[in-house]
Structure 1
């Protein structure tokens, strides 16, 4: 499963032209038809996709590890037909404990956050997932989900930016061979209108430091 940082690259546009995706239509002038969805990219935020619990009173050493859990099997769904864009992430938490003796339940906190433009947190929610270890078993798993809403207007490109991308350019025009996506104004507008739904464990400072430095 791929993890991503909060500062993400620009979301790619899917280009569909009459002569083929991304091709130049020289018969009627040079141009692209850009298709784009307001649905966010869904991913696990880097550094928070796993959590390690240590035995009480022990240090953060390999022989004092109590439980290790990981977010996996992330699946995204999105409905952009309503007044708000609704994005949902279903995932599984898989865990392993060091001591398999006795039945035990472990509850772990996780978060979901909607991020706009790669850096701006629009919304954040906290959830919990409970893992039930059977006696004699050192592995357990449980399903979990996260969701978020996005304003369609915020995810839409301004009309002037759409015109820059889709405007027909005839052979011989000064900008006929120029990629509109190379225009800094276009790239900035796409960045602002791009959203991510990120999930991860709600870590303490010590847990986050452990993930980063181990």
Structure 2
């Protein structure tokens, strides 16, 4: 089962530079301050945040839907500024089965992938979350966890790039209206130092296609 299909790479590209705030903040002098965090950003890639199980498995008829589940309430904490920099994430999985019946456990696999610059896979783990439907109940929930650890040096921008990105700019400055990220060298340096922890259901190509085309 391949995870990083073209559709997923496109989905995570927008996350790759999320460690920088492009909008910036106004400081006490009236200038604009752009902030950056070395902590890995945390996100659920498009099309991987929900999954549908069918009975029979090969069917895609709405009447054959057995269980649906969704990843929600994704939260993270970061150790920063330690070395290595560690991000821990938790999330809820909310599920519903089509028919209330006997007590039943449904085990769903999910991935936790650390990416660099939005395109390079640093590591990947596949874990499982167990949903326990009580007898006669249609709904079940569970909690999943994921983590990422990156070297501080790898997530730290070179001093000249950091100065360019975070320097306070006042409206009267000549480059006040110029986004430093428009410079290809700056953009590439920020991408190399940007890490993401991506969490989603581990799906087959067929399941991913179903989510993308339904």
Normalised TM-score (structure 2): 0.83
- Aligned-pair CA distance for 1:158: 1.1
Give, in whole Å, the separation in 2 of the partners of 1:161 and 1:56: 55
Matching residue within 8, 12, 15 for 2:14: 8
Give, in whole Å, the separation in 2 of the partners of 1:44 and 1:170: 36
> Equivalent residues in 2 for 1:187-206 (5 A)?
187-206=187-206
- Aligned-pair CA distance for 1:7: 1.3
Give, in whole Å, the separation in 1 of the partners of 2:137 and 2:168: 64
Segments of structure 1 that go 5 or more residues without pairing to the other structure are 23-31
Q: Does 1:19 align with 2:62?
A: no
- Aligned-pair CA distance for 1:36: 2.2
> Equivalent residues in 2 for 1:1-214 (5 A)?
5-8=11-14, 10-11=17-18, 12-13=20-21, 14=24, 17=27, 19-20=29-30, 22=32, 35-56=35-56, 59-165=59-165, 178-214=178-214
Q: Which one has a bigger Cα radius of gyration?
A: 1
- Aligned-pair CA distance for 1:63: 0.3
TM-aligned CA distance change 1:49 to 1:21, over 3 Å: farther
Give, in whole Å, the separation in 1 of the partners of 2:65 and 2:193: 42
Further displaced range: 148-157 or 104-113: 148-157
Task: Report the aligned-residue RMSD.
Answer: 2.7
Normalised TM-score (structure 1): 0.83
Segments of structure 2 that go 5 or more residues without pairing to the other structure are 1-7
Q: Is the 8 A contact 1:16 1:35 kept in 2?
A: no
- Aligned-pair CA distance for 1:72: 0.5
- Aligned-pair CA distance for 1:171: 11
CA deviations 1:26-49 (Å, max 9, x no partner) are xxxxxx6x5422111111111110
Give the count of matched residue pairs.
202
CA deviations 1:62-97 (Å, max 9, x no partner) are 000110010001111111133211111110000000
Q: Is the 8 A contact 2:72 2:92 kept in 1?
A: yes
